């Protein structure tokens, strides 16, 4: 594996205000500790067979909602969302643009989506959001998702076609890693801009990624390509925000060591950063080792316990 001699950079920021219904790109955002990306999957479209009434009290599995894995046409929706006014614009190649305000215009949005949803499935019913103010992401944990542009290019080369990053519906995209190097971040802490994140585990993938986000039509066997490349249907990694802060395009990404404020008289811990490339061998074997290791980390306690136990990252160019 090639060892890069400069810090990777944050190259793209993506948000999906309505689960499976629209993607947009950002220049910057403010991450919050123990929260997903602000306004990412803040809303979803529940179908008529959803196992709850009204808005869900808490997180619900994706099967309760309209989703790209059930209908590829949804993957071609593009979004423009203003969190302050909650105005949203949705565009699809087969529909006139939708303009509305969330959640008030939820019924009109449902009607706009009905022609994109197959009759054989439970019908779109209502726009919902969680009563506990959480996100309706694919996992119950309050994580953000991180992708590696080099891995996306490598998979595209295997498939013989350039891949849009929007197939994967991830939040943060890094440039400067070697292909598939993101797996070696699992179990490590990184800084992006002012934020500190703990990389939790790889992301299991579904057939929604086989749909072209420009056309909304299935055109590639992305899952088969992943199995061929790394032995599993995983792409990208989940991370927990340990310390919130602003992240923006072009921010450096670094590995870091952390400690409590009691570590030194000045409240800052020392420690040298280490190279991200710590393992060698077949990529599929490394991915399998991390799959086993992440199960043990499920019981990992939150690092920030109280006001006297806070993170002070000591970071350097860890990718050199």
Residues 6+ apart with CB under 8 A from 52: 46, 60, 64
Output the pTM of the full model: 0.84
Question: Per residue in 44-58, pLDDT tens?
Answer: 999 999 999 999 999
What domains are there in the chain, each with its CATH number? 39-128 (no CATH), 140-315 (2.40.33)
How high is the pLDDT of residue 6? Answer: 73
Residues 6+ apart with CB under 8 A from 153: 162, 163, 179
DSSP state of 159: H
The residue count of the chain comes to: 320
Helix H or strand E segment including 11: strand 9-15
- Residue 223 confidence (pLDDT) above 80: yes
Q: Is 25 left (phi over 0), alpha (psi -120 to 50) or beta?
A: beta
Nearest to 75 by CA among 110, 127, 23, 111: 23
Reduced to 3 states (helix: H, G, I; strand: E, B; else coil), residue 219 is: coil
Alpha-carbon distance 60 to 51, whole Å? 9
Average pLDDT of the chain, as a whole number: 85
Nearest to 189 by CA among 145, 262, 239: 239
**Sheet of 253-257, strand order:** 24-26, 9-15, 172-175, 144-148, 234-243, 195-204, 189-192, 253-257, 314-315
How high is the pLDDT of residue 291? Answer: 60
How high is the pLDDT of residue 308? Answer: 33
Residues 6+ apart with CB under 8 A from 98: 88, 89, 90, 91, 108, 109, 112
Alpha-carbon distance 182 to 237, whole Å? 7
In this structure, of 111-125, 186-200, 247-261, the range with the lowest mean pLDDT score is 247-261
Question: Per residue in 281-317, pLDDT tens?
Answer: 455 566 666 665 555 555 444 443 333 333 334 444 4
Residues 6+ apart with CB under 8 A from 305: none
Kindly state the average pLDDT of the residues 99-125.
Answer: 98
Kindly state the average pLDDT of the residues 160-172.
Answer: 98
Question: Per residue in 226-277, pLDDT tens?
Answer: 999 999 999 999 999 999 999 999 999 999 865 332 233 333 333 333 334 3
Contact 251, 10 (CB under 8 A): yes
């Amino acid at each position: 594996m090639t060892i890069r001699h400069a810090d990777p950079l944050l190259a793209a920021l993506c948000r999906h205000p309505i689960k499976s219904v629209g993607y947009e790109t950002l220049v910057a955002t403010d991450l919050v500790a123990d929260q997903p990306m602000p306004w990412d999957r803040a809303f979803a479209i529940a179908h008529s067979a959803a196992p709850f009434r009204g808005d869900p009290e808490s997180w619900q599995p994706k099967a309760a909602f309209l989703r790209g894995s059930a209908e590829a046409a949804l993957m071609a929706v593009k979004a423009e969302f203003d969190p302050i006014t909650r105005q949203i614009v949705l565009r699809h190649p087969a529909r006139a643009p939708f303009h509305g305000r969330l959640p008030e215009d939820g019924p009109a949005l449902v009607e706009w989506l009905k022609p994109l949803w197959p009759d054989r499935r439970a019908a779109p019913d209502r726009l919902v959001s969680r009563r506990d103010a959480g996100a309706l992401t694919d996992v119950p944990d309050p994580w953000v998702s991180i992708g590696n542009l080099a891995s996306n290019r490598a998979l595209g080369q295997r498939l013989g076609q350039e891949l849009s990053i929007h197939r994967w519906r991830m939040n943060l995209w890094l440039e400067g890693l070697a292909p598939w190097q993101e797996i070696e971040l699992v179990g490590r802490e990184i800084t992006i801009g002012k934020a500190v994140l703990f990389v939790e585990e790889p992301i299991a993938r579904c057939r929604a990624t086989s749909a072209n986000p420009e056309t909304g039509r299935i055109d590639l066997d992305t899952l088969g390509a992943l199995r061929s490349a790394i032995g599993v249907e995983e792409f990208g990694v989940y991370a927990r925000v340990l310390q919130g802060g602003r992240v923006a395009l072009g921010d450096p990404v670094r590995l870091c060591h952390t400690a409590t404020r009691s570590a030194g008289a000045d409240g800052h811990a020392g420690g040298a950063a280490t190279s991200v490339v710590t393992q060698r061998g077949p990529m599929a074997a490394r991915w399998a080792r991390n799959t086993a290791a992440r199960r043990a980390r499920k019981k990992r306690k939150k690092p920030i316990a109280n006001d006297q136990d806070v993170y002070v990252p000591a970071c350097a160019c860890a990718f050199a």
